[in-house]
């Protein structure tokens, strides 16, 4: 069984920074993709950023240059450094682990950016 535990959300003013963390536990295969999605009220869940176990990254156009995803394979942990936050970044952020055709989700952490 796989569990994802997120931390680091909160309230920040526009232009500020936050760092999200997500630790995975359980039966984790070495080849996987970890990422962050977000869902704002009334909107569909969307990909924010993803990183493979080999370090290849992918970002949504809206966060490129402001957010940085990284991971520590030894700890099965993924991070999302969010800088220059905007009110439009306000959403629940979900950690995702994809491996062998299965997707696992964290419980979500709220990020609120005030103007």
Average of per-residue pLDDT values in the chain: 96
The residue count for the chain? 115
Query: What is the per-residue pLDDT for 30?
Result: 85
Q: Please answer whether residues 105 and 5 qualify as being in contact, where contact means their C-beta atoms are separated by less than 8 angstroms.
A: no
Which residues fall within 8 angstroms of residue 91, CB to CB, at 6 or more apart? 38, 39, 40, 43, 111
pLDDT tens-place string over residues 34-86: 999 999 999 999 999 999 999 999 999 999 999 999 999 999 999 999 999 99
DSSP class of 73: G
What torsion do the CA atoms of 52, 55, 56, 58 make, to the nearest 10 degrees? 70
């Amino acid at each position: 069984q796989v569990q994802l535990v997120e931390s680091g959300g909160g309230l920040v003013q526009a232009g500020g920074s936050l760092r999200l963390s997500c630790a995975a536990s359980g039966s984790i295969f070495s080849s996987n993709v970890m990422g962050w999605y977000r869902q704002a009220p009334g909107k569909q869940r969307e990909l924010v950023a993803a990183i493979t176990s080999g370090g290849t990254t992918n970002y949504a156009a809206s966060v490129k240059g402001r957010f940085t995803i990284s991971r520590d394979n030894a700890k099965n942990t993924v991070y999302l450094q969010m800088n220059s936050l905007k009110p439009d970044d306000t959403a629940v952020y979900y950690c995702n682990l994809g491996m062998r055709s299965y997707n696992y989700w964290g419980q979500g952490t709220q990020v609120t950016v005030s103007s």
